[in-house]
Amino acid sequence: MPYRYYTADVFTDQIFGGNPLAVFPDARAIDPEQMQHIAREFNLSETVFVLPPEQGGTRRLRIFTPQVELPFAGHPTVGTAFVLAAIGDISLTGERTEIVFEEGVGPVPVTVEARNSQPVSCTLSAAQMPEYGPEPPAAADLAAVLSLETRAIAAPARAISCGVPFLFVPITNLDALGRIRLELTQWQRVLGGAWASMIFAFVVGADPERADYLRARMFAPSVGVLEDPATGSAVTALAGYLALEDPLVHGTCSYLVEQGVEMGRPSFLNLQYDLQDGQLTAIRVGGRVVLVSKGEFGPGTRP
């Protein structure tokens, strides 16, 4: 029997932007080995396989890159919520529909916002608050990995995870961000086997007229993704970096993160986080999604 699938562009309001995603809305007949083969065949950043819930959630998700399964990923979570709502597999209850996906990190709440009974955007709430990892490599080593001069590293890097570890590397300006070329030999030397080997390079204050605007790039050769146009799990953990630098003690902070520009797939991720007594209490990441295609993966023989 062929397996039905849909594709969507996530964190964009127009086709050919954002981060592409494949979603199999009923993966009960697909075993994990087949899932990995199928994800490799699609060769997108992630492919999602939707299963019945086991712990009272709305659906259970298994998320695969071309090389490995992930316990959590942002654009697959947001994109899958949109796809399931758009095709009617999840019933909308009004302008805001609350659902819960069971993922490797635990239950992930998602809000689906609708207009005229059609989904327009989705926002996830982090299942885990940030975990801070080991001391990162020296700025000179990171600069070598990124093919930059050391002075292009604007501040100390930090390793942070909200289920998936990333190395956050602040860059001085947009020119330096655009000049990044990942040197794989140096990456293997400096970050191969590290707790956080996926690099999220970003510029704060990229737009002098918008203090809440960031530009970013993300590199993840360890999971088969040389560069990713939109990384919700990284932007979720980015809150852990920004909160350390933020003088705010109570309240909500909001940022617009633009990613994927250098790849020709501009993506826009809305980040919000709440602080109470200087501590993070909630993180939300969301954006628009566009349904692109549907098809069948078949004829159902083992890949």
pLDDT in tens, 35-59: 999 999 999 999 999 999 999 999 9
**What pLDDT, in 10s, does the model give residues 158-185?**
999 999 999 999 999 999 999 999 999 9
- Tell me whether residue 184 is in a domain: yes
What is this structure's pTM?
Answer: 0.93
Read off φ and ψ for residue 212, nearest 5 degrees.
Answer: -95, 10
Domain range spanning residue 223?
131-286
Examine the domain organization and report whether 139 and 93 are in the same domain: no
In the chain, what percentage of residues exceed pLDDT 70?
Answer: 98
pLDDT at 299: 59
The whole-number average pLDDT for the span 12-32 is 97
Examine the domain organization and report whether 217 and 121 are in the same domain: no
Examine the domain organization and report whether 140 and 278 are in the same domain: yes
User: pLDDT averaged over the chain?
Assistant: 95
User: Known catalytic residues?
Assistant: 46
pLDDT band at 302 (very low <50, low <70, confident <90, very high): low
Examine the domain organization and report whether 200 and 251 are in the same domain: yes
pLDDT at 301: 46
Nearest to 214 by CA among 198, 230, 227, 226: 230
Examine the domain organization and report whether 22 and 152 are in the same domain: no
- Tell me whether residue 268 is in a domain: yes
- Tell me whether residue 196 is in a domain: yes
More confident residue, 283 or 302: 283
Examine the domain organization and report whether 157 and 276 are in the same domain: yes
The number of folded domains in the chain is: 2
CATH number at residue 97: 3.10.310.10
- Tell me whether residue 303 is in a domain: no
Per the CB < 8 A criterion, the answer to whether 124 and 109 are in contact is: yes
Examine the domain organization and report whether 139 and 277 are in the same domain: yes
Examine the domain organization and report whether 146 and 280 are in the same domain: yes
- Tell me whether residue 226 is in a domain: yes
- Tell me whether residue 16 is in a domain: yes
For the chain, the three-class secondary structure string (H helix, E strand, C coil) is: CCEEEEEEEECCCCCCCCEEEEEECCCCCCCHHHHHHHHHHHCCCCEEEEECCCCCCCEEEEEECCCCEECCCHHHHHHHHHHHHHCCCCCCCCCEEEEEEEECCEEEEEEEEEECCEEEEEEEECCCCCEECCCCCCHHHHHHHHCCCHHHECCCCEEEECCCEEEEEEECCHHHHHHCCCCHHHHHHHHCCCCCCCEEEEEECCECCECCEEEEEEEEHHHCEEEECCCHHHHHHHHHHHHHHCCCCCEEEEEEEEECHHHCCCEEEEEEEEEECCEEEEEEEEEEEEEEEEEEECCCCCC
Examine the domain organization and report whether 99 and 199 are in the same domain: no
The whole-number average pLDDT for the span 204-218 is 90
pLDDT band at 202 (very low <50, low <70, confident <90, very high): very high
246 has pLDDT over 80: no
**What pLDDT, in 10s, does the model give residues 252-296?**
999 999 999 999 999 999 999 999 988 999 999 999 999 999 999
- Tell me whether residue 10 is in a domain: yes
Examine the domain organization and report whether 184 and 73 are in the same domain: no
Examine the domain organization and report whether 41 and 138 are in the same domain: no
- Tell me whether residue 302 is in a domain: no
Examine the domain organization and report whether 183 and 248 are in the same domain: yes
298 has pLDDT over 90: no
